[in-house]
Structure 1
Amino acid sequence: MSSRHDRPDGETDILLVLIGVLYMTIRAVLSLIGLGAALYAAAIPASLGFALEPAPAAYSLDSILDLALARNPAVSSAEGTIDQQRGHQTAAGAYPNPTVTGYMGYGEVRDTGRANIRESLDREKLTEYNVTIGQPLEWPAMRKARQGVADAGLATANAGMSETRLHLTTQVKVAFYDLLLAQRDAALAQQNLDTVESVTRIVKARVKSGEAPQFESIKAEVEVLKAKQQLARADNAVRINRAVVDTMTGGALGPTYVIQGDFMGLSKEVHLDGLIVRMGTQHPSIQRLLKSVEQSDWKIEFERQSRVPSVTVNGSYWREIGREAVQGGLSIPMPLWYRREGEIAASLGAKRHHEAELLRTRNELARAIFQHYQDARTTAELIDVFDKGLLKQAQEALRLAQFSFQQGASSLLDVFDAQRVQRQIQMDYAHARYELSVSLAHLERAVGGTL
């Protein structure tokens, strides 16, 4: 009986040992798993910090315009011109300074006409001097004309600042749309490359299985190379246009940034007649030239009033041997031989020049408004054609060609043809929107403000 009871006890001990070994093994495995998880968790932040770079800053059109208007050298140059004209205005309002003239010396009487020269010698020696003060008095009409010239010059400079800001705004907008178009082209090129590579993978699988000849794979690789070249050219255009925009902001954007925004659209409320009226009343170039004509009028008046001589009031004190005197007088230049005919003629010629420039500018701005308005309307009609179905039709044709190719119902050439047509339509659509935005930007410059 004892031998039977001993056997189960031995088997139980063995079972307990196996359970213990299994338990220790499980604990060791769990410890290793926990250690590996801890090391992986500790390694994740370092790997992410090394691999991930900070996202480039994104700028909208308004923010880029603000930077350009604040840091572009053209604006600083216009501000310098305003400061210069303010200095001229201060000088025009100043009064002429007086002139003080003085002489001093030693005097002695050589022949007194007296019998006893020795007795009167001390009285006939003296330090002589005289002081003269002269104050010019301007002709009031000439002074008023000079101040009018300076005031009109400051108004011209302020209008020039508005003109500079208008031109810079147009340049920044065009550069922004150039970069936006380059980014769209790069995105389309990347999309085209992804599509071509997906088709190429299908072709290689068919060639490997013997369903398609080797030549199909070669054609697919050629298309991949073409797509990569197009993407490289598009990326290069993005880098070049990014540098152009950065230059206009005085280097405020840096080499790595992106822009966000969309192209402009033509509002139905914009009419040609209203744009021409706005141009004549608000355009900075028109205002600048009007102030230039006004400045020329004041310049002519100044030269004419300058023919009237300015009077200088003089007062003097004299102290000499045997004489002491206080005197006063006037100094008046006499315009007998020359009466500023040359300066008056030059001022008249400058006025004619500014008037002709004003008329030419009005005609050119009116022509620019008509041209850019018609270009915008024509391009807007073309965009409507794309929006009303051409884009969807090209996308649907590409989808059907890819589906037929996957089912074996169409050839590789049909897919690539549909891909090229779809990409070309998308590029034409992007270029049409770009041309509309550029035309509207030039139209705003011709009008003299936003639409």
Structure 2
Amino acid sequence: MRTRNSTFGRFSAGLALAGTIGCAAGPPPYDPSTVRPYAAPTRQVASPVVPANHQELEDGPVPAAPAAEKVRVDDLVQLALGRNPRLAKATFDIDAAQGKHVQAGLYPNPTLGANWDEIGDRTGPGGILNVPRVTQEIVTGRKLSLSQAVASKEVDQATLALLRERYAVIGTVRGAFYDLYALERRITALDELVGLAGEATKTGQTLLDNKQIARLDLVQLEVELARFRSQAEAARQELPGARKRLAAVVGDPRLAVGAAAGPFDDLPVYDLDQARETVLATHPEVRSARVGVERAQAAVRRAEVEPIPNVTATAGYVKQYENRSNDFSFGLSAPIPTWNRNQGNIRSARAELGAAIQDVGRVENDLAERVAVAHRTYAASLKLAQQYRTDILPKAEETYRLSREAFKGGQFEYLRVIQAQRVVAEARLESVRALGEAWQAAAELSALLLEEWWPGPPPPVPGPGAGPVRLPLPQPDPPRKDGVQPR
């Protein structure tokens, strides 16, 4: 599938532009060939699962999967990259910033005029005709190039905003996908428990008929069955809303989303310190804040040259009917920066520079907090899920099995079997809940780390002639020498 639309083309161009954002002073050229490959985040995958669909970004959106088919998270991510309006809006913001960059470097237009003085004079009724008279403002002090330097940083920030929106959309899609997946697993677990409770109720009815248990015991079994059924039905009522939410974050509210498929038990492994350092070095928000410092520095330089007066040159042809002569005129004029030397704007620009420098620290702190919060939820849920899978759930199932065997041998009352069954039910449901929370936190971490392929590794690099190649993502900014150092 090789369909491309203009919006997606601008989006791909925006990704290429992100790699050129950096450290050069003045208006940098937007050359996609200078893009450098992105260093993969430090992460390991416990059980690598290669996604079924590795279509490239330059391909068109993935077709909507029929409701009867299972969908994978990478399929929905690729679909979102082609349909989500947040990304389309960000591409138009880049177009607007590039237009301002062009406009900032344009020279003032000349003025064409004509004067006809002393009409009807006694010595010459034709008067004095000055036509054409051309006036041109000459810009001094490199004002145009400095204005373009400011505008170029706005283009850089708009490009980084596109990159930020891209991974925000990816993270939201992944989180919504695993919210749906966990709900489906919960329904499956509840259906199994309904089956167990139904068998227990039938057994209890047989025991009651044989007068081996009291009616009260059977009622408790029936209550347990009704509870599991009501929980399963309530979970099923959530299912359409979860699918509609996933379709909405993909960017197509009418998308028919089928059952989720993919890894659920084996989560990727993240290290908190490595994740934090990677995010602070590569995330578009902190890179945009650093570009904001460069923009503020360029704005200060632009404000400081504003008092340098521009020169206005005037030239024209003069026809004098009084003495029947043909003359030429030329003049120069410039304002005198006596009272207005742009003092207020210079002071304002310097204050904005100070605020921009402080904003870098604010953004870094916010990102570090987001990583810490997501990793806290991820680590706690992952540990809990591992304990349930490797320790709690096996022991609970063994207890239930042994209690049933003991009941058949006449050693236990049946209510002890039911109690063991309840423990198994709660352990399974808690395990699914913990896994779901861990996956959603991992999805947020994957977006902060700018992970392109998740949860599996990237596809193998195609050989020559093997088809389109993914656009590389930008590397971290190199250390700067203006006092704003990446942390």
Q: 1:324 to 1:179 in 2, by over 3 A?
A: same
Query: Which structure 2 residues correspond to residues 1-400 of structure 1 after superposition, within 5 A?
Result: 56-103=68-115, 107-109=119-121, 111-112=122-123, 124=125, 128=129, 130-208=131-209, 211-251=212-252, 254-263=255-264, 265=266, 270-322=270-322, 323-400=325-402
Question: Unaligned stretches of 5+ in structure 1?
Answer: 1-53, 113-122
Bigger Cα displacement from structure 2, 295-304 vs 246-255: 246-255
Work out whether residues 314 and 328 of structure 1, in 8 Å CA contact, stay in contact via their aligned partners in 2: yes
Q: Measure, in 1, the Cα distance between the counterparts of 2:354 and 2:405.
A: 73
- Tell me how far 1:421 sits from its aligned partner: 0.8
Q: Counterpart amino acid of 1:435?
A: E
- Tell me how far 1:92 sits from its aligned partner: 1.9
Q: 1:406 to 1:202 in 2, by over 3 A?
A: farther
CA offsets, 1:390-409, max 9 Å, x none? 22221222233344555665
- Tell me how far 1:315 sits from its aligned partner: 1.1
CA offsets, 1:212-269, max 9 Å, x none? 444444333322221221111111222222221111012266355221123475656x
- Tell me how far 1:279 sits from its aligned partner: 2.6
- Tell me how far 1:325 sits from its aligned partner: 2.3
Q: 1:277 to 1:391 in 2, by over 3 A?
A: same
- Tell me how far 1:432 sits from its aligned partner: 2.2
- Tell me how far 1:200 sits from its aligned partner: 1.8
Provide the identity percentage: 22
Work out whether residues 186 and 429 of structure 2, in 8 Å CA contact, stay in contact via their aligned partners in 1: yes
Q: Measure, in 2, the Cα distance between the counterparts of 1:184 and 1:447.
A: 27
CA offsets, 1:50-97, max 9 Å, x none? xxxx85232111111122222222212221211111111111232221
Bigger Cα displacement from structure 2, 323-332 vs 348-357: 323-332
Q: Measure, in 2, the Cα distance between the counterparts of 1:224 and 1:382.
A: 27
- Tell me how far 1:286 sits from its aligned partner: 1.1
* SS at structure 1 position matched to 2:142: helix
Q: Measure, in 2, the Cα distance between the counterparts of 1:423 and 1:244.
A: 28
* SS at structure 2 position matched to 1:317: strand
Q: Measure, in 2, the Cα distance between the counterparts of 1:377 and 1:218.
A: 41
CA offsets, 1:31-62, max 9 Å, x none? xxxxxxxxxxxxxxxxxxxxxxx852321111
Bigger Cα displacement from structure 2, 295-304 vs 206-215: 206-215
Q: Measure, in 2, the Cα distance between the counterparts of 1:317 and 1:80.
A: 47
Q: Give TM-score scaled by structure 2 length.
A: 0.72
Q: 1:151 to 1:55 in 2, by over 3 A?
A: closer
Q: Measure, in 2, the Cα distance between the counterparts of 1:307 and 1:127.
A: 37
Work out whether residues 264 and 436 of structure 1, in 8 Å CA contact, stay in contact via their aligned partners in 2: no
Q: Counterpart amino acid of 1:191?
A: E
- Tell me how far 1:380 sits from its aligned partner: 3.6
CA offsets, 1:386-427, max 9 Å, x none? 333322221222233344555665444223322221111112
Q: Counterpart amino acid of 1:241?
A: A
Q: Measure, in 2, the Cα distance between the counterparts of 1:139 and 1:335.
A: 14
Q: 1:214 to 1:124 in 2, by over 3 A?
A: closer
Q: 1:272 to 1:217 in 2, by over 3 A?
A: closer
Bigger Cα displacement from structure 2, 297-306 vs 370-379: 370-379
Q: Give TM-score scaled by structure 1 length.
A: 0.77
Q: Measure, in 1, the Cα distance between the counterparts of 2:69 and 2:310.
A: 65
Work out whether residues 268 and 442 of structure 2, in 8 Å CA contact, stay in contact via their aligned partners in 1: no
Q: Measure, in 1, the Cα distance between the counterparts of 2:360 and 2:292.
A: 9
* SS at structure 2 position matched to 1:259: coil
* SS at structure 1 position matched to 2:313: strand
Q: Measure, in 2, the Cα distance between the counterparts of 1:75 and 1:247.
A: 14
Q: Measure, in 2, the Cα distance between the counterparts of 1:387 and 1:125.
A: 105
Q: 1:255 to 1:274 in 2, by over 3 A?
A: closer
Query: In the alignment, what sits opposite 1:46?
Result: none
Work out whether residues 284 and 448 of structure 1, in 8 Å CA contact, stay in contact via their aligned partners in 2: no
Q: 1:265 to 1:324 in 2, by over 3 A?
A: farther
Q: Counterpart amino acid of 2:239?
A: V
Q: Which has the higher contact order (CA 8 A, sep 6+)?
A: 2
* SS at structure 1 position matched to 2:263: coil
Q: Measure, in 2, the Cα distance between the counterparts of 1:232 and 1:293.
A: 55
Bigger radius of gyration among the two:
1
- Tell me how far 1:108 sits from its aligned partner: 2.9
Q: Measure, in 2, the Cα distance between the counterparts of 1:283 and 1:324.
A: 69
Work out whether residues 279 and 446 of structure 1, in 8 Å CA contact, stay in contact via their aligned partners in 2: yes
Q: Measure, in 1, the Cα distance between the counterparts of 2:78 and 2:342.
A: 49
- Tell me how far 1:103 sits from its aligned partner: 4.2
Q: Counterpart amino acid of 1:88?
A: K
- Tell me how far 1:275 sits from its aligned partner: 3.0
CA RMSD, 1 decimal: 2.8
Residue correspondences, number: 386
Q: 1:305 to 1:105 in 2, by over 3 A?
A: closer
Q: Counterpart amino acid of 1:158?
A: T
Bigger Cα displacement from structure 2, 187-196 vs 255-264: 255-264
- Tell me how far 1:296 sits from its aligned partner: 0.8
Q: Counterpart amino acid of 1:102?
A: A
Bigger Cα displacement from structure 2, 164-173 vs 394-403: 394-403
